[in-house]
Structure 1
Amino acid sequence: MQTWSELSETQPTIARVLQNSVRRGRLAHAYLFEGGRGTGRRAAALLLARAFLCEKTVDAEPCLVCRECRRAESGNHPDVHRIQPDGQTIKVDQIRALKKEFSMRGMESAKKVYIIEETETMSAAAANSLLKFLEEPEGEALAVLITASAGQILPTILSRAQVMSFSPLPPDRVTKALVERGFREKEARTAASLTSDLEEAERMFDEEWISQGREKVVQLMNDLISRPQDAYITVHETIMPFFTDRQQIQTALDLMMIWYRDVLRMQVGQSDAVVYIDQEDTLTKQAFQLSQQKLGKNLQAVMDAKRRAGANVPPQLLVEQLLLRLQEGS
């Protein structure tokens, strides 16, 4: 369980603001936690929920011994409601069910908390239903909305929530910690470029997933330059069978973006900052083969694909269209 002091090590401003608000009993009724993967948004939301529900906080820290703390720590508090996408989106029926829950009396206390993850995936109907709920909350309620991008949230919802932007940890700090825990530097650098959360980074090493995924993307990036006629086959026989769900497709796109940034680093003489440290010869070769204009177009193509992946475009269509853009002018 995270504490305010642990949160302050990675997100000092956010920890200070929230902790002071708990101390003074002046929490907003709704927060929007914005930030990338691994920035600690979910852990901070759960910490805030525990502090809000605790019967006797000590310097804003949950006491861990009262009835509310014991229930919250178990992850099964009846007055803490978490909503995640049902499939690709958060649906209006999920928000309606939440509102129904809040219309009932709290089972453990008069306070209730709801945490909505991936808020940007809400359908239009769900967002509009939530808006009315934010305007007229039932009783003593705390809402925490979690999103990767506040820009994808309705302005009317943003205006009713206090936005807190979570900063990513420096990749070198994560890399160093992973290496100290026994992981190879080349995979550690890659994992640290994908997430700033150590626990998430370690999970990427389960069954060597990050190592295998990295090698498959390296193969594709090599084929795009050296064997363009094979790239389509690589996508369908290597990439798609391995990166199977929406989150994994996002990871594949992140790995591709890191590759192109490494090529750019080689072009401008920043080889010490390269992530794919075992691929320097190939990166150097591509740095001579790709103009900065083409490199910029490729980076833009990958970024566009990442945005479309968040808009629920079918993965196979998304990757095929990206492949065509990357091969334009090759």
Structure 2
Amino acid sequence: MKTWSEVAQVQPLASKIITNSMKKGRVSHAYLLQGERGTGKEEISLLLAMALFCKHTSDAEPCHDCNTCKRITSGNHPDVHWIEPEGQSIKIEQIKNLQKEFTYSGLESNQKVYIIKGADTLTLNAANRILKFLEEPSKKTTAIMLTDNSQSIIPTIRSRCQIIDLQPLNPLHFQKQLMDAGLTEANARLMSALTNNLDEAIAWNEDEWFAEARKLMVQLVEMFSSNPNDVYLYIHNHWIPHFKEKKQLEQGMDLLLLAFRDMLYYHLEKGETMVVFQKDDEKLEMAVMYFSQEKLMAILHAILQAKQKLKLNVHPTLVMEQLTLQIKR
């Protein structure tokens, strides 16, 4: 999404709110863009920053060709600052450095824009520190906060921002985009369940590591129903060596979640919504016979809990071992 007209096709309400406020000269001092991954938070932030600085806008649309637009797009404009988590959170030191920037005039104009990615990861001290700007905004300073999880934003911050809700992408429309990009229908269905980001989905589809991850997931699910006594050994010999990094293990958990959800859908006669298995897959039928609806509900809950433990920095190997035992019970 590189223009407001493109944004309007995917996020019509967000596009209308922002462009109308710009045309009327009523840009908010702080925005909170909240929505799932891939819904366009960063693209909208970039467009808003460009529109605020570009000298050749037309109906709130930046020209995209001037030196200012190009530098903002490349991340090299001195008055547009991106803040993102260092590790698991945005720390108070980062906000202190940001506050120092508040005290300086813009290098090329009086306008300044701060884009805070993962605003829900602000530590409590960092969040309280950012309130100073939100409570005493400069007329020429605009903060844009981005979050996948709006409920983790403290109320005092939310109350000082114009909140813009980004709607989930239409999965069928996204699947069509993926198939137009060369993915098979089955792969497009799976990728649309894992991500809303087109480039990410295409990259995963071509990634050998991901192909192996998908294969390991199917083998693991099959072992739970056909050879449960060897599952623990399989986890240590195959699963953990492949999913070495925390982010990779989270992706593996997502694949497991979709596989067990497929089984539940099969029980509920909702085969058309499955994304990992096909209706006539023998492996699926065998697994469904082994797991009851009640057991599948418990497994889905256990996987979600395991994902939460990963976010809390519990050791990945321990998380996977505990999950394996819960599924086997």
Give your verdict on TM over 0.5.
yes
- Once the two structures are superposed, the pairs formed by residues 64-83 of structure 1 within 5 Å of their partners are 64-83=64-83
Whole-Å separation in 1 of the counterparts to 2:275 and 2:22: 40
Change (3 A) 1:247 1:134: farther
Alignment-derived partner of residue 148 in structure 1: 148
Map Cα deviations across residues 126-179 of structure 1 (whole Å, 9 max, x no partner).
122112232223451111111111111212211122222222223332223222
- Once the two structures are superposed, the pairs formed by residues 113-132 of structure 1 within 5 Å of their partners are 113-132=113-132
Change (3 A) 1:109 1:65: farther
Whole-Å separation in 1 of the counterparts to 2:216 and 2:295: 23
Alignment-derived partner of residue 319 in structure 2: 318
Tell me the amino acid that sits aligned with residue 159 of structure 1: S
Map Cα deviations across residues 193-227 of structure 1 (whole Å, 9 max, x no partner).
11122122112134334322211222222222222
Whole-Å separation in 2 of the counterparts to 1:32 and 1:312: 27
Whole-Å separation in 2 of the counterparts to 1:321 and 1:177: 38
Whole-Å separation in 1 of the counterparts to 2:142 and 2:216: 44
SS at match of 1:303: helix
Percent sequence identity is 41
Change (3 A) 1:106 1:61: same
Alignment-derived partner of residue 291 in structure 2: 290
Whole-Å separation in 2 of the counterparts to 1:193 and 1:271: 15
Aligned 8 A contact 1:189 1:275 in 2: yes
1:275 and 2:275 matched: yes
Whole-Å separation in 1 of the counterparts to 2:243 and 2:97: 33
Cα RMSD (Å):
2.1
Unpaired runs of at least 5, structure 1: none
Alignment-derived partner of residue 222 in structure 2: 222
Alignment-derived partner of residue 306 in structure 1: 307
Aligned 8 A contact 1:213 1:252 in 2: yes
1:319 to partner: Cα distance:
2.2
Change (3 A) 1:239 1:34: farther
Aligned 8 A contact 1:103 1:138 in 2: no
Tell me the amino acid that sits aligned with residue 194 of structure 1: L
Aligned 8 A contact 1:38 1:200 in 2: no
Whole-Å separation in 2 of the counterparts to 1:312 and 1:54: 43
Aligned 8 A contact 1:68 1:108 in 2: no
| Larger displacement relative to structure 2 (128-137 or 141-150) | 128-137
Map Cα deviations across residues 78-125 of structure 1 (whole Å, 9 max, x no partner).
111111111222111011111111211101221111111122222222
Change (3 A) 1:294 1:154: same
| Larger displacement relative to structure 2 (97-106 or 126-135) | 126-135
SS at match of 1:113: strand
Aligned 8 A contact 1:187 1:210 in 2: no
SS at match of 1:325: helix
SS at match of 1:105: coil
- Once the two structures are superposed, the pairs formed by residues 98-247 of structure 1 within 5 Å of their partners are 98-247=98-247
Alignment-derived partner of residue 91 in structure 1: 91
Change (3 A) 1:186 1:326: same
Whole-Å separation in 2 of the counterparts to 1:58 and 1:246: 45
Aligned 8 A contact 1:32 1:145 in 2: yes
| Larger displacement relative to structure 2 (170-179 or 80-89) | 170-179
Change (3 A) 1:321 1:63: same
Tell me the amino acid that sits aligned with residue 77 of structure 1: H
SS at match of 1:142: strand
Aligned 8 A contact 1:88 1:312 in 2: no
TM-score normalised over the length of structure 1: 0.91
Aligned 8 A contact 1:110 1:139 in 2: no
| Larger displacement relative to structure 2 (94-103 or 175-184) | 175-184
Whole-Å separation in 2 of the counterparts to 1:205 and 1:132: 45
Aligned 8 A contact 1:32 1:158 in 2: yes
SS at match of 1:215: helix
SS at match of 1:81: strand
SS at match of 1:189: helix
TM-score normalised over the length of structure 2: 0.92
* Equivalent residue pairs, number: 328
